[in-house]
Amino acid sequence: MEEPLIPVVLMSHTAHIRSHRKPRRSATTSLAVRAGVAGGVLSMAAAGASASASAAETTQTLELPTLTADLAAQVAQSADATQQAAANYELEAERDAAAAAAAKEAKKDLAEAKKKAEAKKKAEEARKAAAEAAASRSSERTTLSASTTASAPASGSVATVIAFLKAQVGDAYVMGGTGPNAWDCSGLVQAAFKQVGVDLPRVSQDQSMSGTDVSLSNLQVGDVLYWGAKGSAYHVGVYIGNGQYLDAANPSKGVVIQDLSGYPATGAVRVL
């Protein structure tokens, strides 16, 4: 049989000395220690929580200026963008207005240029017409002067008529006047031809219908000249040779001698 094991209690070599024995902790002490440990832990936890809260608060306080600055930058950028857009819109509006004004001015200038061109064209046409009319009158005067310069000198009864007419030069012109010191055109012509026994009508319209028609290129001294249409002439005079005629012209001139080139007659009749 195996022998039973006997437990052996090992003791420190100093265990028998009282001063070397570890004092036993009482329950109260253990509780106090545990309470202290717990309180310390709680204190540390509270301190940690406080520190965490403080740190969080500090972090938030530090982050707020950063967030505010970013937001301000964004607002500033947005404002700049809005201002730039407004400036671009205003610039575009100004350009559109300038373009519209330029187009309007160009249209006005074009209309003015057309108007000036039309006026210039009309003036040129009028100038050409005046030049043609002047050339025609010049040709007519040249022909008349050439034909009348060769006219025969007055003689006989014609000379009497011309002498009477020249004696009245300087007399006044009066509408309806028949002499002896004031005349109208037809009254003077009637009185002149009456000196040689030729009885002419009183008014110029009827005098233009008397005698025989004569071409202006074949005038002779003593021929009666008239202005206006035949049968409705408004003025008469007598050709005296050398391209001249004598008439009671108007109130400002009276009885005068004038050149046919200055006022060509319409037609002529010969009564002697």
Question: What is the distance between the alpha carbons of residues 122 and 233, in angstroms, rounded to a whole number?
Answer: 33
The structural architecture, per CATH, of the domain 152-270 is Alpha-Beta Complex (3.90)
CA distances from 2 to 7, 8, 9, 263 (A): 15, 18, 21, 189
CB 236 within 8 A of CB 224: yes
Those residues with Cβ within 8 angstroms of residue 125's Cβ, 6 or more apart along the chain or in another chain: none
**pLDDT score recorded for residue 148:** 41
pLDDT in tens, 120-130: 787 677 667 75
| Model pTM score | 0.47
Residue 151 is encoded by which pair of tokens?
């006219």
Q: Which one is predicted more confidently, 242 or 53?
A: 242
Closest CA to 188 of 258, 237, 252, 225: 237
Question: Measured between alpha carbons, how far is 107 from 110 in angstroms, rounded to an integer?
Answer: 5
Please, are residues 59 and 51 in contact by the beta-carbon 8 Å criterion? no
Average pLDDT, the chain: 76
Asked if 179 and 205 count as a contact pair (C-beta separation under 8 A), the reply is: no
pLDDT at residue number 211:
96
Q: Could you tell me the residue ranges of all domains in the chain?
A: 33-150, 152-270
What distance in Å separates the CA atoms of residue 165 and residue 159, rounded to the nearest whole number? 10
Angle at 115 between CA 111 and CA 120, to 5 degrees: 145
* Residue 181: predicted pLDDT: 95
Tokens of 18: 């009282």
How many angstroms from the chain centroid is the CA of residue 154? 68
Strand partners, 214: 268
**CA neighbor of 237 nearest in space, from 225, 221, 251:** 225
* Burial class of residue 203 (count of CB atoms within 10 Å of its CB; 0-12, 13-18, 19+): middle
pLDDT per residue as tens digits for the range 66-84: 556 677 777 677 777 788 8
Q: What is the mean pLDDT of residues 252-261?
A: 97
For the ranges 89-103, 190-204, 206-220, 221-235, which has the lowest average pLDDT? 89-103
- Site of tokens 């009749």: 269
